[in-house]
Amino acid sequence: MKPLFYFLFFSVFALCFSDEYEVLLENQQKLSKFLFDEEKYDKEMAPFPDDSSQYFIKKPWNYTLDIIRLKLIDVDEPKEQITVILQMMQTWNDRRLAWKKEDFGNITGIYTRLEKVWSPPFIAFGASEVVEHRDQNHRMVKVFENGTINAHIPLKITSNCKMDLTNFPFDTHICDIRAGLPEYNSTQFNINIWLSDDILNSCLLGNAAWDIVDSSCGQEHVRTKDGYFDDTKMGVVKLMIKRNALYYLYMIVLPIFIINSISIAGVFLKDTEKMDRFTIGLTHIMTMTFILALIADNLPKSEQIPLLGRYIIFGLCTMIVALTFSTYLKKISAFFGEKLKSTRSSFGQRLRRFIGSPLRISCIIIFQIINALAVLFLIYRFFAFEYEYGIENCVATPKTMDVIAEHFMENGFD
């Protein structure tokens, strides 16, 4: 008896919900025909007229970009570009797609294809490449009863970023990612841009070579005199990126310090011949020049010499001075030794003994101290750099920038 009861109960339950689902589908089809009737809705036309209407001065159209995820992929220093992946949610309002939920079974929102609705002409300003990582068949939007539309877009953006590499490898850069609707005047719309808390409070947005230590967003008002982009607004995401300096410390600075130390000791050895000194010096110069060339290939061609380059050049100059001094040290010792040979004063005898091996050892110590001071300065800069842009600053970053100063340009966009 009980199995029969359960069978009848679940049959009635499934029948009721099946009828409810069919009613829901019927209401959705009815709503879809109502919204996307070709005679009523033209997806090729914007939901507002041009800026000649005074309506938008009182009530501008709103366009919102929510940055949900952000990941730094690459930094190309010679081209002064950064590449990031953004997961963004676009939100805008199309009043032509509004409906009364009571007329359609209390449906408050529906999903549909992006190509069925009008979408804003989103443009990333100052970007050399914008790639959307989404198949055409998977481009969906959600339409709400008041005409609000949400569309998710995953983008890979390669954006230009001016870089000052004076302090390389202890350098930070502020890079901007700008987006907007250049076809429309600033009186027609407001652009709002937001960063999620995961982005603002996370230090894991970079890659092995770079970290994002600060991020902020805001609106920028652009006025130009080129006659086309006269007055528009754009959303701006500002990223402060920090280089991983430890890599250069143990891959370049430490080997250079060891090479300098061995070379200095080699040219001052007592039994080192003149040709051997020149061989050591020439090998050192070629090694430093090769390292400088490797660094130069990865940096923009600018008139400023980076800090790491100055360290290498300083070590090179130190080695040249040490080589020159060691070459003439034997002649200097022989000359003053002959002059002081006949002296009977205690000072003269001490000086005569000093210009031999003690002078050579003293030169090694002096030049090694100079070499050590140079590398200690870089180590100090490294710890100061890591302290200034540490994790605690990343976690405490401000959530948004309310206002970004107006940006004026004479000859179009950067």
pLDDT, tens only, 11-51: 444 444 456 767 777 878 888 888 888 778 888 887 776 65
Cα–Cα distance measured from residue 108 to residue 142, given in angstroms and rounded to the nearest whole number: 10
| Same domain membership, residue 222 and residue 114 | yes
Q: Which among 359, 281, 272, 283 has a CA at the least distance from the CA of 322?
A: 281
Asked, for residue 226, whether it belongs to a domain, the answer is yes
Confidence band for 192, pLDDT divided at 50, 70 and 90: confident
Confidence band for 335, pLDDT divided at 50, 70 and 90: low
| Same domain membership, residue 330 and residue 181 | no
| Same domain membership, residue 106 and residue 217 | yes
The answer for residues whose C-beta is within 8 angstroms of residue 293's C-beta and 6 or more apart is none
Confidence band for 257, pLDDT divided at 50, 70 and 90: very high
| Same domain membership, residue 367 and residue 396 | no
Q: Could you read off the pLDDT of 68-90 as tens digits, one per residue?
A: 888 899 999 888 899 999 888 99
Asked, for residue 257, whether it belongs to a domain, the answer is yes
| Same domain membership, residue 143 and residue 268 | no
**What pLDDT does residue 369 have?**
92
Q: Could you read off the pLDDT of 348-359 as tens digits, one per residue?
A: 555 555 566 677
**What pLDDT does residue 186 have?**
72
93 vs 279, more confident: 93
What CATH number does the domain containing 231 carry?
Answer: 2.70.170.10
| Same domain membership, residue 258 and residue 210 | no
Asked, for residue 41, whether it belongs to a domain, the answer is no
Q: Mean pLDDT of all residues in the chain?
A: 77
Q: Could you read off the pLDDT of 208-217 as tens digits, one per residue?
A: 888 888 888 8
Task: Give the percent of the chain with pLDDT over 70.
Answer: 74
| Same domain membership, residue 339 and residue 224 | no
Confidence band for 183, pLDDT divided at 50, 70 and 90: confident
Which residues are bridge partners to 52 per DSSP? none
Biggest CA–CA distance in the chain, Å, is: 133
38 vs 160, more confident: 160
Structural domains in the chain (count)? 2
Cβ 171 vs Cβ 165: under 8 Å: yes
For residues 136-158, average pLDDT: 88
Asked, for residue 95, whether it belongs to a domain, the answer is yes
| Same domain membership, residue 399 and residue 369 | no
Confidence band for 123, pLDDT divided at 50, 70 and 90: confident
Q: Which among 371, 258, 379, 255 has a CA at the least distance from the CA of 318?
A: 371
pLDDT at 338 over 60: no
Q: What pairing do the DSSP bridges indicate for beta strands 123-125 and 172-180? A: antiparallel
Please tell me the least confidently modeled range out of 116-120, 171-175, 270-274, 367-371: 270-274
User: Distances from the Cα of 287 to the Cαs of 188, 247, 259, 280, in angstroms?
Assistant: 61, 19, 9, 11
Q: Which residue bears the tokens 């080997």? A: 255
146, burial (CB in 10 Å: exposed 0-12, middle 13-18, buried 19+): middle
**What pLDDT does residue 400 have?**
43
pLDDT at 391 over 70: no
Asked, for residue 214, whether it belongs to a domain, the answer is yes
Confidence band for 343, pLDDT divided at 50, 70 and 90: low
**What pLDDT does residue 325 have?**
82
**What pLDDT does residue 372 have?**
93
| Same domain membership, residue 209 and residue 139 | yes
| Same domain membership, residue 208 and residue 128 | yes
Tell me which residue range forms the domain holding 338. 247-389
| Same domain membership, residue 202 and residue 138 | yes
**What pLDDT does residue 226 have?**
59
Cα–Cα distance measured from residue 98 to residue 93, given in angstroms and rounded to the nearest whole number: 9
**What pLDDT does residue 341 have?**
59
Asked, for residue 414, whether it belongs to a domain, the answer is no
| Same domain membership, residue 256 and residue 234 | no
Cβ 398 vs Cβ 361: under 8 Å: no
C-alpha dihedral sign at 331, 335, 336, 337 = positive
Please tell me the least confidently modeled range out of 59-63, 184-188, 377-381: 184-188
Please tell me the least confidently modeled range out of 172-181, 264-273, 328-337: 328-337
**What pLDDT does residue 409 have?**
42
Asked, for residue 198, whether it belongs to a domain, the answer is yes
**What pLDDT does residue 399 have?**
45
Cα–Cα distance measured from residue 312 to residue 375, given in angstroms and rounded to the nearest whole number: 10
24 vs 250, more confident: 250
Asked, for residue 29, whether it belongs to a domain, the answer is no
pLDDT at 299 over 50: yes
